[in-house]
Structure 1
Amino acid sequence: MRVWALAAALGIAIPAAKAEKLATIVVEPTPVADEIVTDAVVESARQTDIAAQVSGRITGLFVKAGDRVGAGQKLLAVDQRAADQQLAAVQAQAAAAQAEQEVARRELERTQILYDRKYVSQAALDRAKARYQTASSMRLSRQADAGAAAVGPTLHNIVAPYAGIVAGVDVELGSMAMPGMPLVALFDPAALRAVATVPQSRAAALRTDLPVRIELPDVPGAQHWQTAAAVTVLPVTDPLSDSVKVRLALPASAGEAARPGMFARAHFLAGSPRPRLMVPLAAMIRRTEVTAVYIVANDGSTSLRQVRPGETRAGQIEILAGLSAGERIALDPLAAARH
């Protein structure tokens, strides 16, 4: 390495015989659009605060924060003894109304026979018909009451409306639930999105027809960069910040690493692409304040040249000065240094 540093300082070319084995690339202008980078926050498109519809004591708590649940899975239970008793009473009333209708039906049949034989008057027949119709209406009313009462016990068993992850549980076993009181927070990890805030002055330049990259700084590895599955620019402007919200749908696989509330960065392309000299980041070498690349000459010799870098895009960096189109550079600076 000392020999390499000295050769670089003196501008001495490295022998061609060894440079020929290096992996190289010819630098050519590449059309690249400008980029707008804004802060974003990850949220779930399906996030629900499940609230109680009835009052009662919490008698069962079956999940905790972080649990994965399926659609229809029971989350907690509210004391339903009063609801069960009310249902039993209404069902008994419905049974009594059905019995009354049956009695009225039989009485109407007997009255009809007597009327046909001229033993009773038309008024007696009309009264029997009226009693039957009243009993029928009462039976329908009691059956409707029983159906409504049957819903009551189901409201005491709180279930997940969709498959997801429990974000939080706001009650404890034995606490009192009231109508409208939040009980469990649930979100769908397969329906995440990043919401970016873009200044109104730059919103018109966004190219929503081109891929939008989403950076998750706190997520390492392959999940660090995501590509938006869909882009939606909301049609309203915040008057306080003079900005617009842009929703960027994350791929379903992002739910394995991303979580609601996580910080993100949105990388939008803007304007028309213009030619730029882009080189792989791996080809760059940095020493204190010096950024350089290895130039490979036509005869195979290599020399270190300082360059001025620009923006970084998806593993490549723009060269603003120090490099010309058509020049060949080494892809592996460490291998070039050993030659």
Structure 2
Amino acid sequence: MKLKRIFSILASFVLIALVIWVLIRNKKEINQQAQLSLQENSVIPVNTTQPQLMAINSAIQVTGRIVAENSVVIISKSQGIVLSKHKETGDKVSKGTAIAKVEDHLIRENLRVAESNYIKAKKDVGRYESLQQAGAVTKTELEAMQLTLNNAERAVFDLKDQLQNTTIIASISGVLEKVYFEEGTLLSPGMQVAEIINPEKLKMEVTITEKEIVRLKKGQSVTISTDVFDNKLFNGTVDVIGSQGNDALSYKLEIVLDASTGLKPGMFAVANFKTGESDGQKLVINRQCIVGGLKNPSIYVVKDGKAYSRNIVTGEVVGNQVEVIEGLSEGEIIVLEGQINLADACQVNIINL
């Protein structure tokens, strides 16, 4: 009886162990299938290309800032408290538009007195001319009265000019970029009141070296790029070339741009000047291969079915072709399309549509 009980217990243990073994085996198979499915789903399709050796025209590449071609700082010519403010920052204005009004009651009172003095002096001169002809006054006395008339006339002219200056107007058409006052602000002559820019006309200001300036000329075409509009190029024209360098032997250069391109004042950009000179064979890639823009360029190199992120050093940019100075060799396979879904060392499937 006791032996039968022992056999029953052992049989139970064996059955339980068998069930556990079957469950573990099934779970392992499920995990393997899930892992295989995950691997299949994580393979990312990409289009690839290879760097090419080619002769490209030597170009000069410099960075600079885009600014408004026309910008004016308005200076107060009057002293007094601002009574009214007609325009705000960002408002469009035309040349001659009133921006603000400064108090003018003292000027108007002084003008009234000056005009009265002028009328009196004019009458006195007429009277002295008659008396001088009759010999009642000397020529010197007449000249003194004429001087008084001239001074009175000048006083009226100056006060009218001061009265006109109490209305602050826009000196050019454009947009109010900055306004430095509010109603109640006390202005004084020489104080900055506002800044107006004309965003319809843009230019790019850059600095070039003495070796580069001799290769450029006014009217030369320039290709402009910016990280704000990645993979988009803009056209410009060299307008001003500095005639005198600074202590660092650098020269200022201005490039005229078209505002209709969407570029805005304050943006930083890269200017590429084609010189027509060739420096021989260079390793170049399509600009579309670059991830992160030209400031921090990187690419994905495909090897053994995986895409690896790699930083590169770029040189000249001519159209859509970018010179690679360091980080890539001829014959390597790089991703042209599909980078948006990639991460370092992820599996890829080359489809090359």
Report the TM range for the smaller structure's normalisation.
Answer: 0.5 to 0.7
Give 4+ residue runs of structure 1 displaced > 3 Å after superposition. 29-32, 105-109, 128-137, 199-210, 273-288, 309-312, 315-322
* Aligned residue number for residue 258 of structure 1: 264
CA distance in 2, matches of 1:103, 1:208: 67
Q: Which amino acid aligns with 1:140?
A: N
* Aligned residue number for residue 78 of structure 1: 102
* Aligned residue number for residue 302 of structure 1: none
* Aligned residue number for residue 182 of structure 2: 172
Structure number, greater radius of gyration: 2
Matched, 1:54 2:66: no
Q: How does 1:1-339 map to 2 (within 5 A)?
A: 32-108=56-132, 111=134, 125=135, 127=137, 131-206=141-216, 210-219=220-229, 224-239=232-247, 241-254=248-261, 257-259=263-265, 261-270=266-275, 272-273=277-278, 281=286, 288-290=300-302, 312-316=317-321, 337=352
**SS of the residue aligned with 1:34?**
strand
Structure 1: gaps (5+ residues) = 10-28, 112-124, 292-308, 323-331
**SS of the residue aligned with 2:58?**
strand
Contact 1:229 1:251 in 2 (8 A): no
Q: Deviations over 1:259-318 (max 9, x none)?
A: 1x2211111224614677999959989994149xxxxxxxxxxxxxxxxx9965323567
CA distance in 2, matches of 1:312, 1:234: 24
Give the superposed CA RMSD.
4.2
CA distance in 2, matches of 1:96, 1:50: 38
CA distance in 2, matches of 1:252, 1:168: 20
**SS of the residue aligned with 1:227?**
strand
**SS of the residue aligned with 1:59?**
strand
Contact 1:219 1:258 in 2 (8 A): no
Q: 1:90 Cα deviation (Å)? A: 0.5
Contact 2:60 2:274 in 1 (8 A): yes
CA distance in 2, matches of 1:204, 1:58: 52
Contact 1:238 1:244 in 2 (8 A): yes
CA distance in 2, matches of 1:104, 1:206: 72
Q: Deviations over 1:227-252 (max 9, x none)?
A: 2233322133333x553322112235
Contact 1:205 1:271 in 2 (8 A): no
Give TM-score, length-normalised by structure 1: 0.65
CA distance in 1, matches of 2:288, 2:164: 65
CA distance in 2, matches of 1:195, 1:283: 27
Q: Deviations over 1:76-123 (max 9, x none)?
A: 1211111111111101100111222233344456x3xxxxxxxxxxxx
Q: 1:198 Cα deviation (Å)? A: 2.5
Q: 1:69 Cα deviation (Å)? A: 0.7
Contact 2:238 2:253 in 1 (8 A): no
Q: Deviations over 1:51-92 (max 9, x none)?
A: 212221111211121111100111112111111111111011
Contact 2:128 2:137 in 1 (8 A): no
Q: Which amino acid aligns with 1:247?
A: E
Give TM-score, length-normalised by structure 2: 0.63
Structure 2: gaps (5+ residues) = 1-43, 292-298, 304-313, 332-336, 338-350
Contact 2:67 2:264 in 1 (8 A): no
* Aligned residue number for residue 19 of structure 1: none
CA distance in 1, matches of 2:289, 2:161: 68
Q: 1:31 Cα deviation (Å)? A: 7.1
The percent of aligned pairs where both chains have the same amino acid is 17
CA distance in 2, matches of 1:288, 1:196: 32
Change (3 A) 1:227 1:45: same
Q: How many residues align?
A: 272
Q: Which amino acid aligns with 1:226?
A: F
**SS of the residue aligned with 2:73?**
strand
